[in-house]
Structure 1
Amino acid sequence: MNYSYPLSDDTWGREEIEAILNVILSKNFTMGKTVKEFENIFADWIGSKYAIMVNSGSSANLLAIAALVYSGRLERGDEIIVPAVSWSTTYFPLHQYGLRLKFVDIDKETLNIDPTVVENAITKDTKAIFAVNLLGNPCDYNKLQKICKDHNLLLLEDNCEALGAVYNGKYTGTFGLIGTFSMFYSHHICTMEGGVAVTDDEELYHYMLAIRAHGWSRDLPENSRIYKKSKSSFYERFNFIVPGYNLRPLEMEAAIGIQQMKKIDRIISQRRLNAEYFLSRIGKMPLFRTQKETGKSSWFGFPIILSENASLKREELIKILENGGVETRPIVAGNFVRNPVMKYINHTIHGNLPSADYIHFNGLFVGNHSKDIKDKIDLLFSLLHSFAITHR
């Protein structure tokens, strides 16, 4: 369907196309010096010591969890607290490394993990909290960091939807031991496919360098904290030290990323301006509510949640919006424990999940763009207004 208001927009210009062509002409396609250049730019911008580019945000999560297990920070059987609302590949790497997921409810206003529920869910087996900055909105890191300190827990961040979000003057993705990012087409910046993991921990950085490329020692520095290289470069080119993957990005993805990082501040700024306009409109419509901002969201999208007193079904609203040219999505994956895949995953659920259930059945989100979309937001609210009039 050709939407008047699609979920995302194109952030590319001539610069990205030329960057791709330059890589093609160089005939150096797989991970090399361009990837390293992008990593340095990204780490400097986000405020982390180390950045590791991979082929997707999902792979960034897999890489992070693998590094934590092989470094001994986590062990199979450990309990990891996760929010009930996130994307699938927040959860799958935890399962794939033998960790036990404990799902907790979200805060009904912010849509992020509820710190009060988290504290009540902690047991002697709990070893980490995997926080998710949902749809660009920062979690309450004052509370989460205190909980982690009080209970000696690791704090991890899935920041795949929240590039550029700020909490207490610091970019999200840098509060945890490792933070992960996505650069898929619909995200804040786009490198076709692509992801990044960031950390200030040198040992974890070295593990991720090895795991990203087959588990070999080739990419480690001479003074690596996890392995002492031999003097034979011939041997070290194909010397495998941990079970790894091929998560390497392409040089053209990094080349695109370098150009996208030149635009990132403008992109985030425009998304916030679009959000201001959206909030000014939805605040006048009691039939709907949206996400309460914590810190400074980078507004991945705009959630629309039916109020408790609404006399309508979400399916009716979706039909009106889609027929009117507005593309819609569930709020990420709704309450994830309602997915059939859960029968394969070692997990527990702490209490009931009323807030996650509510958005599962009564929420959706529409897109935010890198350009001024007042006209699209006006279209959205003309449809919402018509809907509200017929459902008073």
Structure 2
Amino acid sequence: MFYELAASTWGEEEKAAMADVIASGRYTMGEQVLAFEREFAGYFGMDHGIMVNSGSSANLVATAALAYKSDRPLQRGDEVIVPAISWATTYHPLQQYGLKLRFVDVDLETLNIDVAQLERALTPSTRMIVPVSILGNPAALDIIRDFADAHGLYVLEDNCESMDAELAGRKTGTFGDLNTFSFFFSHHISTMEGGMILTRDRELSDLCRSLRAHGWTRDLPADTALYQRKSSDHFEAYRFILPGYNVRPLELEAAVGRCQLAKLPGFTAARRRNLALFQELFAGDDRFIIQREHGKSSSFCFTVILNPKHSLDREKIFAALKEADIGFRIITGGCFLRHDVMKYYDYEVVGSIENAITAHELGFFVGNHPFDLTPQIVRLREVLDRF
């Protein structure tokens, strides 16, 4: 395809790292995972990193950790404020832990949660906010953090689409009590599958470590406060303290992740150069609403929303893109309230969600990659102009 939605970012270094792991004979979670966790947490200036097998699992384990916290744990029926646009596994763990979701509309230009609606969304039962920086563009995380602190709310920051983005000189994925990342094939770095949780809280870190591996004690530091050791080493070797999962990562994934992390600054710089060209070519054309950069985007992709006032036919535009060999897809997961799965949710909608619906019905995105896309972006502009 001339303009792919996703592209590999691997080189010979990643293949060599995998070969070294295979030669070692140790494939499951071990020293490579520990090293990657330390390096990744260090890159973001965080105290604790917990690697898991996907960004979706990162959201699941993070939600679970807050449900088993010793002080003020999340409980069934507690309410969580969420944006109307995100990927499915932003929401599923919240439903699976019995939480009630309060959906808030997005800003049509940034595609992130409309923080002007936070006060309206707040009730006496609200316990948490889950901000999502959509497709590389930072949400108003500083405002959300201040609002959460003022009202005693947890923040679970879903940063799976926005690794290496920045807001006011601070990396996204560092504003939450827990912060999640994804290393899926199309994301900013790729370990095949994989994810990470970052936190500054020691108890939450220990909870995540136990929950990712069966609720076991094996991976916990000796001085953890989660439990008291007993005298029998025979029993302690297989002691379970939480109803956990098996979402452990592989050594292969972590070894690749270490290579990819070293390349991340260069990847981000290339993505931002492509973004600058996209912004230049589409600036001032009110037929198309493109994502307004908030802070410094790490530019996962390029979004286009057809301005409703021009009555453009999206299906005909899709046909033109297909003919030009340009890949495209729905913006993240679209307006999540439009999906069949909502019949299983306990939720309320706060006010209107017309912006999320507009993005769902009139929007799409095309890919961005960490290498020069000048010919691809120029053709995109030409195809839309011809149409």
Q: Deviation above 4 Å: which 4+ runs of structure 1?
A: none
Measure the CA separation in 1 of the matches of 2:357 and 2:383. Answer: 25
SS at match of 2:382: helix
Does 1:171 pair with 2:156?
no
**2:381 counterpart letter in structure 1:** F
1:301-322 CA distance string (max 9 Å, x none) = 1000111222322111111112
SS at match of 2:276: helix
Measure the CA separation in 2 of the matches of 1:142 and 1:199. Answer: 17
Measure the CA separation in 2 of the matches of 1:382 and 1:237. Answer: 64
Does 1:135 pair with 2:135?
yes
Aligned-residue CA RMSD (Å): 1.0
**2:16 counterpart letter in structure 1:** E
Partner residue of 1:160?
Answer: 160
Measure the CA separation in 2 of the matches of 1:266 and 1:326. Answer: 25
Partner residue of 2:68?
Answer: 70
Kept in 1, the 8 Å contact 2:105–2:356? The answer is yes
Partner residue of 1:16?
Answer: 14
* Percent of residue pairs bearing the same amino acid type: 47
Measure the CA separation in 2 of the matches of 1:182 and 1:23. Answer: 22
Q: How far off its partner does 1:287 sit?
A: 1.3
Kept in 1, the 8 Å contact 2:163–2:188? The answer is yes
Measure the CA separation in 2 of the matches of 1:336 and 1:58. Answer: 16
Partner residue of 1:283?
Answer: 283
Q: How far off its partner does 1:231 sit?
A: 4.5
Measure the CA separation in 1 of the matches of 2:357 and 2:36. Answer: 40
Measure the CA separation in 2 of the matches of 1:328 and 1:339. Answer: 20
SS at match of 2:310: coil
Measure the CA separation in 2 of the matches of 1:111 and 1:181. Answer: 19
**1:221 counterpart letter in structure 2:** P
Does 1:380 pair with 2:368?
no
Structure 1 runs not aligned, ≥5 long:
388-392
Measure the CA separation in 2 of the matches of 1:296 and 1:59. Answer: 27
**1:170 counterpart letter in structure 2:** R
1:247-284 CA distance string (max 9 Å, x none) = 00000000000110110000011101110000000114
Moved more, 61-70 or 348-357: 348-357
Kept in 2, the 8 Å contact 1:283–1:289? The answer is no
Measure the CA separation in 2 of the matches of 1:202 and 1:76. Answer: 24
Measure the CA separation in 1 of the matches of 2:369 and 2:363. Answer: 20
**2:43 counterpart letter in structure 1:** W
1:70-102 CA distance string (max 9 Å, x none) = 114311110000000000000000000111111
**1:267 counterpart letter in structure 2:** F
Moved more, 85-94 or 307-316: 307-316
SS at match of 1:103: strand
Does 1:260 pair with 2:228?
no
Q: TM-score, normalized by length of structure 2?
A: 0.98
Residue-pair matches, total: 385
Measure the CA separation in 2 of the matches of 1:286 and 1:347. Answer: 35
Measure the CA separation in 1 of the matches of 2:336 and 2:118. Answer: 17
Kept in 2, the 8 Å contact 1:138–1:165? The answer is yes
Measure the CA separation in 1 of the matches of 2:86 and 2:138. Answer: 14
Partner residue of 2:343?
Answer: 343
1:94-114 CA distance string (max 9 Å, x none) = 000111111110111110001
Measure the CA separation in 1 of the matches of 2:295 and 2:344. Answer: 36
Measure the CA separation in 2 of the matches of 1:311 and 1:141. Answer: 34
Partner residue of 1:224?
Answer: 224
Kept in 2, the 8 Å contact 1:222–1:228? The answer is no
Measure the CA separation in 2 of the matches of 1:233 and 1:12. Answer: 43
Measure the CA separation in 2 of the matches of 1:311 and 1:358. Answer: 12
Does 1:297 pair with 2:313?
no
SS at match of 1:131: coil
**1:303 counterpart letter in structure 2:** T
**1:210 counterpart letter in structure 2:** S
Measure the CA separation in 1 of the matches of 2:2 and 2:78. Answer: 47
Partner residue of 2:334?
Answer: 334
Does 1:192 pair with 2:192?
yes
Partner residue of 1:322?
Answer: 322
Measure the CA separation in 2 of the matches of 1:86 and 1:348. Answer: 16
Measure the CA separation in 1 of the matches of 2:203 and 2:367. Answer: 38
Partner residue of 1:48?
Answer: 46
Measure the CA separation in 2 of the matches of 1:349 and 1:284. Answer: 33
Q: How far off its partner does 1:236 sit?
A: 2.0
Partner residue of 1:249?
Answer: 249
**1:222 counterpart letter in structure 2:** A
Kept in 1, the 8 Å contact 2:103–2:347? The answer is yes
Moved more, 298-307 or 135-144: 135-144
Partner residue of 1:390?
Answer: none
1:208-247 CA distance string (max 9 Å, x none) = 0100000011111111021122344432221000000000
Measure the CA separation in 2 of the matches of 1:236 and 1:368. Answer: 49
Measure the CA separation in 1 of the matches of 2:233 and 2:9. Answer: 42
Over 3 Å counting, the alpha-carbon distance change for 1:178 and 1:204 in structure 2 is same
Measure the CA separation in 2 of the matches of 1:159 and 1:231. Answer: 42
Does 1:7 pair with 2:17?
no
SS at match of 1:62: helix
